[in-house]
Amino acid sequence: MRMSATKLVGVLAIGGAMLASTACGPIDSVTGGGKKNTACKNIETELRNIASGGVSSGSAANAQKFSDAATKIRAEGQNAGGDVETTATKFAGDLDDTAATLRRLSSGNLSGGSPDFTAMQRHGNELGKACGYSGFRLG
C-alpha cells in the first residue's frame, strides 16, 4: 500500500507539472521581454525534465526531484521579476508541498495529507498567463 500511495502522489504531481510544462509557450517570443523570456523558457525546460523523468520507486528520490525543481523555478521567477516571479513562487510552493508529502510517505506516514493538485493546476495556469501563453498544449 505504501508504494501505491507514493506512486499515486508522484504521478499526480507529474501530471500537474505536465499541465504547466508549456506555460511559457510561443507567444513570449513575439512579445519580447529578455529576462522574462529566458526565465519562462528555463522554467518550461525544468518542468519538462520532471515530467519526462517519470516516477522512481523511492519516494525520497522523487521528493528530491520536486524540491530541486521548486528551487530552480523559484530562482528563475526571481530573475524575471513581476508576475512571473509571483506565479513561479506559488507554483514552486506547490512542488515543495508535493515533495513534503513524498517525504512523509517515504517515512511510512500515510496520514500526512496530500498536495493540493487543484491549486497546482491553477498556479500553473497563472504562470502560463504571466509568461504570455493563454492555454496549454501537451507534448
What pLDDT, in 10s, does the model give residues 53-85?
Answer: 766 666 778 889 999 999 999 999 999 999 999
Is residue 138 in some structural domain? no
What is the arithmetic mean of pLDDT over 24-34?
51
Total-model pTM: 0.73
Residue 117's domain comprises 2-130
What is the arithmetic mean of pLDDT over 7-25?
51
Is residue 65 in some structural domain? yes
Give yes or no for a contact between 70 and 95, defined as CB atoms under 8 angstroms apart: yes
pLDDT attached to residue 108: 80
- What's the number of domains the chain is made of? 1
Is residue 79 in some structural domain? yes
Give yes or no for a contact between 119 and 16, defined as CB atoms under 8 angstroms apart: no
Give yes or no for a contact between 18 and 51, defined as CB atoms under 8 angstroms apart: yes
Say yes or no to pLDDT of 139 above 50: no
What is the arithmetic mean of pLDDT over 41-53?
87
Is residue 62 in some structural domain? yes
Is residue 139 in some structural domain? no
Average pLDDT of the chain to the nearest whole number: 77
